[in-house]
Amino acid sequence: MRSNIHVYAGTAGHSAWFSEDAGQTWVHPNSHSGMYLEARVWCFSSHPDMPAHVFAGTDMGVYRWDEAPARWVALPSPMADVWALAQDPSDARVLIAGTRPAGFFRSTDAGQHWQALQAPGISQFSDINMGPTRVTQILFDPVVPGVVWATVEIGGIYRSADHGQTWQLLDQGLVSADVHGIAVVAAPDGGSWVYATTNRGLHRSTDQGQSWVFQELKTPWQYTRSVVPRLDNPAIVFLTNGNGPPGNDGKLLRSHNHGQDWEEVGLPGEINSTVWCVAMNPSDPQLIFLCTNLGQVFRSTDGGAHFERLPHEFGELRALHWRALPEGARQAPHAITRPQIKARELVAMAQ
């Protein structure tokens, strides 16, 4: 395995953690790194054209990780609680953020300035959970350029055809507006299918979201969270499943026919909660990271055929991300500060 694999874990109350050895050991930078030690980190985004930076959505807005000084920088923004982030594949400076309460914001200068976007029908409060709604995922369509998808819990599915500047609500056929995740899968006929996960099950659209069909799963639970196609083979799709947030059991499901049928992928040991995140990167489609809601982390080096459980177990995890840094992009070891070295020693002792 390459030595330049960096993995990022977002926690619900212990900020962002880092691994420089593909998940074997982890560093928990303290407040000297620029982010509050007990921040809630909901999402990450990075872009190969911007290797010096990683963006994080937190309960205190958007942060940018600067690789050379190994520090977080809080970016000025009108958003407070940022649950979803994505960068335009065609322009790394364009970011779209989704918030709690649900709203969309767009930046064209790498997060220095933000514009609030109009989304017809979006609600900031739900009578179902008696609380704020939230944007759970933003996805730039990998098949149709310029199209962006967004999921809202509790609020349905939105689609933009102009790089996120305007939005349309597409919820026809959903059995639940409590939407968690979305994926666009290249279909066998040359088009694309769109999958969406909800608290009541998986949905599929074959008409660009104009209508959705519930797709029942052969598992004990219909609760689904992440759906992600393998980046080198769209016929292989992964789906996370469990008995609720956080739940006390979960499964990873895999399809070999573009999401039409599903089988369970065996994960080592006892699963402590709903399987939550799947992290992939086009620099190595065979390397896949996986986590449960309550902090177990798994790694596959063979495209998801087999997974190993990694040693460290977190508390509550909400985001998992990895990337391959260019060789020589940073001084070894990690150009970290003495407080961070102390944090690393404490983590090693805990293991």
Q: Quick one: average pLDDT of 96-103?
A: 96
Looking only at the bridges linking them, the beta strands covering 131-132 and 134-140 are: unpaired
Place of tokens 């080096």: 301
Beta bridge partners of 251: 241
Query: Is the pTM of the predicted complex or chain greater than 0.85?
Result: yes
pLDDT at 334: 43
Summarize pLDDT for 271-280 with one digit per residue, the tens. 999 999 999 9
Is the per-residue pLDDT at 33 higher than 60? yes
Domain ranges of the chain: 5-177+274-350
Give the model's pLDDT for residue 329: 59
Distance of CA 296 to the CA centre of its chain: 16
pLDDT interval class at 218 (50, 70, 90): very high
Contact 141, 186 (CB under 8 A): no
The overall average pLDDT reported for the chain is 91
Q: What's the confidence (pLDDT) of residue 351? A: 42
Asked if 179 and 157 touch (Cβ cutoff 8 Å), the reply is yes
Dist. CA 29–CA 37, nearest whole Å:
8
* Residue 242 pLDDT: 98
How many CB atoms sit inside 10 A of residue 72's CB? 22
Q: Are 351 and 26 a contacting pair, CB within 8 Å?
A: no
Asked whether the predicted pLDDT for residue 331 surpasses 50, the reply is: no
- Percentage of the residues of the chain whose pLDDT score is greater than 70: 93
Q: Residue 3: is its pLDDT beyond 90?
A: no
CA distances 301 to 1, 171, 288, 307, Å, are 8, 37, 7, 8
Q: 236, 224, 222: which is closest to 196 by C-alpha? A: 224
Residues 231, 288 contacting (CB under 8 angstroms): no
The model's confidence at residue 346, banded by pLDDT at 50, 70 and 90, is very low
Classify domain 5-177+274-350 at the CATH superfamily level: TolB, C-terminal domain (2.120.10.30)
Kindly state the average pLDDT of the residues 329-344. 43
Average confidence (pLDDT) over 305-315: 96
The C-alpha atoms of residue 342 and residue 103 are separated, in whole angstroms, by 39
DSSP per-residue letters across 270-282: ---S-EEEEE--T
Query: CA 193 to CA 158: how far, in whole Å?
Result: 15
State pLDDT tens for residues 235-251: 999 999 999 999 999 99
**Secondary structure (3-state) at 323:** strand
Token pair listed for 29: 């930078």
337 pLDDT higher than 60 = no
Confidence of residue 90 (pLDDT cuts 50, 70, 90): very high
**If you average pLDDT over residues 45-58, what whole number do you get?**
97
Say whether 93 sits in a helix, a strand or coil: strand
Q: Could you give the CA distance from residue 231 to residue 142 in angstroms, rounded to a whole number?
A: 10
- β-sheet bridge partners, residue 116: 105
Please name which of 138, 170, 173 lies closest in space to residue 155, comparing C-alpha atoms: 170
162-217 tens-digit pLDDT: 999 999 999 999 999 999 999 999 998 889 999 999 999 999 999 999 999 999 99
Residue 323 has pLDDT above 50, yes or no: yes
The alpha carbon of residue 51 and the mean position of all alpha carbons in its chain are separated, in whole angstroms, by: 18
Answer whether residue 23 shows pLDDT above 50: yes
Place of tokens 């900031």: 124
